[in-house]
Amino acid sequence: MAKGANRGDSILADLPLFGLFRAEPVPQTTPAPASVRKSFMADSAPPPAVDPAQAKMEFLLRLRARGIADVNVLRALETVPRETFAPHRYRDLALRDVALPIACGQTMQEPMLVARMIEALRVEPGDRVLEIGAGSGYASAILARLASHILSVERFHSLAVSARTRLEQLGLTNVTVLHADGLALPPDMGPFDRILVHCRLKELPESLLCLLADGGVIVAGQMKEGASQIVRWRHEAAGFVQDVICPARLQGLIPDVAAIL
């Protein structure tokens, strides 16, 4: 709101102060000729509607310019309409690289962060992927274009229901959205080739390690040197190898299902 107020103030500052300090009569003016009025109305017409294809192309080019190089990830981003997952009031911002508020006090992550995390996951076509934090379902839809099957776990019941509905509307049949605690899944639900956690972990919980296949990859947030970072853990023969991907602001992972909502 403050930003809008500043913009209004700057506009007012540029206007001539006719009669604000002296009670001067307003001069009579001659009506403009019809041709002038017609020209003015043409100049004042609203701008043409944005071409969706052009907007999507610019959206993808911005992601590529900022370092997203995996062609398969870019194709998945191209085919998944982010506006389908954005709240109605924010759909005009769907192709902007901004996080959007969703229900239950949660956030739909900005596309650049989603793209970086999924690119770091290095998903293969035959992979089974566990996603902790379905949220709006947007990242689930992108993963569904890349992997064999996605199990997306959400602690908020209402978010799980709405994400499932959106994914079904897009005809994505290889995604299962589960209302559950992502840290309390039974080991027999695994193994998963890839695990994506949309939250910040203090350390890798044993409950997730038990679900990871040999040679698997986990991508999640973690505090590193006092800053929140996206980190990738690769399960190799000698143990886990860590790579810091990029800085990111993520909420800490909350265990258990939500008591309400």
Number of domains in the chain: 1
In a domain, 35, yes or no: no
Burial (CB count within 10 angstroms: exposed 0-12, middle 13-18, buried 19+), residue 178: middle
**What is 74-109 written as a DSSP string?**
HHHHHHS-HHHHS-GGGGGGTTSS--EE-GGG-EE-
Provide the pLDDT for residue 23: 41
In a domain, 258, yes or no: no
Neighbours of 176 (CB within 10 A): 13
Contact 222, 251 (CB under 8 A): no
Domain extent for 98: 52-247
Phi, psi (deg, nearest 5) at residue 220: -160, 175
Tens digits of pLDDT across the chain (261 residues) = 444 444 444 332 343 333 333 444 444 444 445 554 444 344 444 545 668 899 999 999 999 999 999 999 999 999 999 999 999 999 999 999 999 999 999 999 999 999 999 999 999 999 999 999 999 999 999 999 999 999 999 999 999 999 999 999 999 999 999 999 999 999 999 999 999 999 999 899 999 999 999 999 999 999 887 889 999 999 988 889 999 999 998 988 888 999 888
Task: Write out the H or E segment, with its range, that includes residue 255.
Answer: none
Provide the pLDDT for residue 249: 87
Provide the pLDDT for residue 234: 95
Give the Cα separation of 259 and 104 in Å (integer).
12
In a domain, 46, yes or no: no
In a domain, 131, yes or no: yes
In a domain, 113, yes or no: yes
Q: How far apart are the first and last CA of the chain?
A: 29
Give the Cα separation of 86 and 55 in Å (integer).
16
The domain that holds 179 is classified in CATH as 3.40.50.150
Provide the pLDDT for residue 48: 55
Query: What pTM was estimated for this model as a whole?
Result: 0.80
Contact 121, 70 (CB under 8 A): no
Residue in the structure block whose two tokens are 């998903």 = 123
Q: For 199, what's the count of Cα atoms within 13 Å in the CB-facing half-sphere?
A: 21
Provide the pLDDT for residue 104: 95
In a domain, 21, yes or no: no
DSSP strands (E only) in the chain: 100-101, 107-108, 128-132, 149-154, 175-179, 192-201, 212-224, 227-236, 239-247
Query: Identity (one letter) of the amino acid at 98?
Result: V
In a domain, 195, yes or no: yes
Provide the pLDDT for residue 226: 82
In a domain, 116, yes or no: yes
Give the Cα separation of 179 and 12 in Å (integer).
52
Residue in the structure block whose two tokens are 């924010």 = 90
Give the Cα separation of 62 and 10 in Å (integer).
30
Give the Cα separation of 197 and 221 in Å (integer).
7
